[in-house]
A and B are shown apart, each in its own frame.
Chain A
Amino acid sequence: MFGAGAMTNSIPEIRDADLLFVIGSNTTEAHPIIAMEMKRAVRRGAKLIVADPREIWLTRIADLHLQLRPGTDVWLLNAMAHVIVGEGLVDEAFISAHTEGFEAVAETVRDYPPEEAERVTGVPAAAIREAARLYATTRKAGIYYTLGITEHSHGTDNVYALANLVLMTGHLGVRSAGMNPLRGQNNVQGANDAGASPVFYPGYQPVEDEGVRRKFEEAWGVPLSAKNGLNLNAMMAALAAGRLKGLYVMGEDIVLSEPNAGKVEQGLNQCEFLVVQDIFMTETARFADVVLPAACFAEKDGVFTNSDRRVQRVRKAVPPPGQARADWEIICDLARAAGYPMPDYAGPAEVYAEMARLSPKFAGISHERIEAEGGLQWPCPTADHPGTPTLHEGGPLRGKAIFQPVNYRPSAELPDPEYPLLLSTGRTLYHYNAATQTRRDAGPVLRQPHNFVEMHRRDARRLGLEDGERVVVASRRGRIEAHVCVSPRVRPGCVWMPFHFAESPTNRLTNDAGDAVTGTGEYKVCAVRVEKLSGAPASAC
């Protein structure tokens, strides 16, 4: 859109912002240290606008909380754009110098007046107007978002709608502003950068580009497939449909983490051959034909790339347990066992050097430089380049940034009389994903011992449920048991669950309807029903 899939700005810039627009990010729980920077900015006097269906912690210090209905982000964001265009708050100089396609967006958002938006999103029109004016008229105004934006069947539309706001107000290439996806895991950014993608080689070089493919064929000494691969969501669908027959899984518990877990399990059951490489016996590993024991982060060398494109070292502190080995060693040996002559790398530094040689974005980064200088932020094209804390300074990387008009599309599955509640899922502060790590530690277990479903007291009363009571949560795809947590944090009609608990796997409920572009599952919206579990004892949530 602007030319790079990453945070445009840097984490240390947050403290100097004059406005933070946080949407679809429960930052204090999912990114606690970034949240500290946000709190610091607010203490300094920055305005904070939070858009989230739940009353998350940040709303306590926010100037505005736009408590939208889950899945109505495009309506909210287009209505903000409607106000900005209608009131002449756009940055005309930036639009004409650095962008293309503004007219089409201006035309589209005309159909999104705040009063209509109020009806769809539940956010008062006055609050939408105020948020739009504040955002448009503050120079150092940054947008921060996470999976609340992307985990929808229209996640890409949500991102486009945000980008349109950034571009029409010229909030790009400005310190403490920009558009900032906060990455959920330590090396999401780095895994994308390294080409763990069905459509990109390392450094975002397209698989379908013949010149790129020739370069990699020459470097790796074999002919390569010219056909784009399947994304993860499509792989899961192909597995369930019997088209994908063999699977290698490194470091992910797909049974707990992918949406519609029942379908994932069905796929794994009919899979002809499964290799799992992990540090614990995960739910997925139970299906495997071969299980390879791997080293954890404290037991190997390498780099992680964080949300603000910062490449930082991971260092071996202790040896792996028993016969476990570093993933990079296992992968090289597996390739050799399959007849491919993987080079005899002396260590991860040489692997990184090979990737950097083939990827202009990281060509100037090496383990040696990181040792000497600390973390380096890409783009870093040459060995004497200092790295890039703020992207797009002096204009978008790709020359002209492109506006993308988007229209609202409802989520794939919405509540109905049979499944009347809207379920969103997410992470909590105390656990991490499938919780194979955090459930082996006392603090998280004491704070959150079991799965729960957050519910507004009005819904609890209507269903005759007490706080702490065990219930069944059911969707069209599965049923699980959990404890009711009556909470003012959620909207009436909406419930919320974490997905950290193997014995109560929330992703049996979620919808695997994927985003058309990225394949990301619709974890944030599906329809469920909550049923009383007669005779079960209650306990606090």
Chain B
Amino acid sequence: MSEAFRIRIDGREVEARPGETVLAAAARAGIEVPTLCQDERLDPMGSCRMCLVEVEGQRRLQPACAWRVEPGQAVTTQSERVDRHRRLLLELYLADHTPPREPNAPESEVLALARRYGAERRLDPVEAPREGREDPNPYITFDPGQCILCARCVRYCDEVEGVNAITLAGRGARTTIATAAQIGLLESTCELCGGCIDTCPTGALREKKPASLPVVQETRAVRTTCNFCGVGCQLDLHVAGDRVVRVGSPPPGTTVNDGNLCVKGRFAYDFIHHPDRLQTPLVRGRDGALREASWEEALARAAEGLLAVKERHDADALGFISSSRCTVEENYLVQKLARAAFGTNNCHQCAAT
């Protein structure tokens, strides 16, 4: 790697690396530049113009997400000129952006920036609002009125997930996000990963599932590890009361999954609160049918039954099958149960390959 050099950002000496962008150098120095179309997992596009900054020697403002630093360069990320530009830009976006439909929707990136820069809905709305029809898939919904066409979703679908299910469709004021052939997502190459929802800065792309639940003012997020395949994705379970109502990914760059999830990790959580869940211990009665029992009775029956086999035959007539779906601690305890409590090494997890 060639050598680092120094540039000046907002009057501060900052270290920069050859070939990197102003945005990257600023971020490392703890200087935040506002962005909308930027996602660190995607190639820079420079389309939203939110990150425009003053670069010494450049007459026009330049996008920090795409401008490559040069030694000795001086950059200004905050000034009267830059702020005026950002406020006007956000007001233009607001003119083409309907407010969210639900009262409880979390504040989107675009609305948070509008608040920060004092941008108001004062420009006349765009005359021909974009139209969209509801897609019958069970997970993802799109409100074209809230979309600002930053194309993060389209680029995510292309560059990260690699399936190219959605694209920028139409021209001019009628441009929108759609599948290429105007087909439903379930008929398209979409794999329902939901990454488009996470990267969307406006709330135009949202999940359908929480919408069917009662209005919830406050949810709390619990960071945990996904229980499906062996990648170990980190998840945030969003909990309202005693129910998991949504699953989100931690931000990009913070965990092994880099902000990404798949259809199972993000959406297949209905099993948690499914009415088919076992809720009571069961023991087989004299009539041969399983009946409900207390924990005390069920545990006593289980222990007696296993001990009786050991007594009639020997410890190695018993087998213990542990689960690769359960925790490390639980697997430790099952092998301890087999070895220490029952005296056999006939203990194996279900997927030892």
Contacts and interface: CB of A to CB of B under 8 A. Distances in A.
B160 A432 contact: no
B277 interface: yes
B94 interface: no
Q: How would you classify the secondary structure of chain B's contact residues: helix, strand, loop or mixed?
A: mixed
Contacts of B300: 337
A325 B224 contact: no
Nearest to B268: A441
Given A246-B306, A280-B276, A328-B327, A225 B343 contact: yes
Interface in A125-179: 147, 150-151, 155
B336 interface: yes
B224 A298 contact: yes
Interface string A32-60: 11101101100100000000000000000
Interface stretch (B44-52, B101-109, B311-319): B311-319
A307 B228 CA distance: 12
Contacts of A447: 186, 192
A45 B257 CA distance: 21
B319 A246 contact: yes
B39 to A, nearest CB: 13
Interface string B258-281: 101111110111111110111111
Interface in B291-314: 295, 298-303, 305-310, 312-313
Contact of B321 (A182, A195, A248, A306): A248
Nearest to A316: B222
Interface stretch (B69-77, B82-90, B170-178, B229-237): B229-237
Contacts of B332: 194-196, 202, 351-352, 354-355
Interface stretch (A92-100, A183-191, A466-474, A482-490): A183-191
Q: How would you classify the secondary structure of chain A's contact residues: helix, strand, loop or mixed?
A: mixed
B162 A39 contact: yes
A62 B288 CA distance: 56
B130 to A, nearest CB: 26
B331 to A, nearest CB: 4
B271 A327 contact: no
Given A224-B340, A247-B318, A294-B278, A12 B306 contact: no
Interface stretch (A67-75, A82-90, A231-239, A406-414): A231-239
A436 B331 CA distance: 21
Contact of A232 (B234, B261, B325, B352): B352
Nearest to B281: A292
B234 A225 contact: no
B335 A36 contact: no
A232 B350 contact: yes
B137 interface: yes
A404 interface: no
Contacts of B159: 43
A136 B241 CA distance: 56
A303 B329 contact: yes
A257 B138 contact: no
Contacts of A272: 305, 308-309, 312
A250 interface: yes
B260 A246 contact: no
A199 interface: yes
A279 interface: yes
Contact of B263 (A315, A443, A520): A443
Interface string A299-312: 11111111110111
A334 B279 contact: no
A269 interface: no
A319 B346 CA distance: 32
A254 interface: yes
The bracket for how many chain B residues form the interface is 35 or more
Interface string A252-282: 1010010000000000000011010011110
Contacts of A40: 160
B225 A314 contact: yes
Contacts of B267: 441, 443
B327 A348 contact: yes
B333 interface: yes
Q: Which of A202, A220, A292 has the most CB of B within 10 A?
A: A292
Interface string B216-253: 00000011111111111110010100111000000000
A289 B270 contact: no
B306 A190 contact: no
A382 interface: no
A246 B225 contact: no
Contact of B324 (A186, A239, A339): A186
Nearest to B138: A442
A30 B351 CA distance: 15
B95 interface: no
Contacts of A442: 138-139, 270
Interface string B341-353: 1111111111111
B323 A231 contact: no
B257 to A, nearest CB: 5
A411 B14 CA distance: 62
B261 A303 contact: no
Given A150-B353, A306-B230, A444-B268, A33 B261 contact: yes
Given A303-B329, A315-B222, A328-B329, A337 B299 contact: yes
Contacts of A315: 222-224
A186 B323 CA distance: 10
Interface string B192-204: 1100000000000
A291 interface: yes
A118 to B, nearest CB: 29
Q: Which of B137, B308, B350 has the most CB of A within 10 A?
A: B350
Given A190-B328, A245-B309, A312-B225, A184 B353 contact: yes
13 contacts: A184-B324, A188-B230, A191-B351, A195-B335, A196-B322, A197-B349, A246-B318, A246-B319, A290-B302, A293-B279, A293-B280, A324-B278, A436-B271
Given A224-B340, A250-B321, A254-B350, 20 more contacts: A12-B258, A31-B229, A32-B229, A185-B325, A194-B331, A197-B352, A198-B348, A229-B346, A246-B310, A247-B318, A288-B282, A291-B278, A298-B237, A302-B329, A304-B327, A322-B280, A335-B336, A340-B337, A437-B228, A441-B271
Interface of A: 11-12, 28, 30-34, 36-37, 39-40, 43, 61, 147, 150-151, 155, 182-199, 201-202, 207, 216, 220-222, 224-225, 227-232, 235, 238-239, 243-252, 254, 257, 272-273, 275, 278-281, 285, 288-294, 296-308, 310-319, 321-328, 330-335, 337-340, 342, 348, 351-352, 354-355, 374-375, 429-430, 432, 436-438, 440-444, 446-447, 518-520
A-B pairs, top 3 by smallest CB distance, nearest first, are: A306-B232, A322-B279, A251-B323
